[in-house]
Amino acid sequence: MTETISNNEKSFNILNKLILNGFYDGHISPNRIELNRKKGLFNSGDNHRIIGILNRDNKFELDFDFKFPMNVAVKIAIGIGIVFSIVSLIYGNWLLPIPFFIVPFLIIFIDFKLIKKKEISLLTSKFLELYVSEYE
């Protein structure tokens, strides 16, 4: 299930307050949201961003991605790992790809999914907290 934020004036006001209060950096446009969580005690990586793209239902679907230098590095590393695995399988080294590509790939993939879930739930909880305090 993808998390969504509705596209209306209240949502834009709350997202602007999240940026103005210093929780997030980023920009908000009518068709796209891009937010980066500010550096803090528990967020020192600053390599991820939350992206919201407007769908047909007039809601922003929230997604999670790496920022610019990391997304290119991850794609290059995955490509090198795939080529390395294919070459070692061709030469008959069946066990070599496991410690050098498959295990690190699974660790990074699982870590990315956990961070994605945490960051999106943090954004939605802050969003709902400000929504309740402002409009109810």
pLDDT tens digits for range 31-52: 999 999 887 666 655 788 999 9
What are the distances in angstroms from CA 10 to CA 5, 24, 34, 101, 134?
Answer: 10, 17, 17, 46, 9
Cβ proximity of 35 and 16 under 8 Å:
no
- Strand-by-strand arrangement of the 48-54 sheet: 4-6, 59-66, 48-54, 32-37, 24-28
Domain count, the chain: 1
- 15 pLDDT band, cuts 50/70/90, is very high
What's the domain range around 113? 4-135
pLDDT tens digits for range 110-120: 988 999 999 99
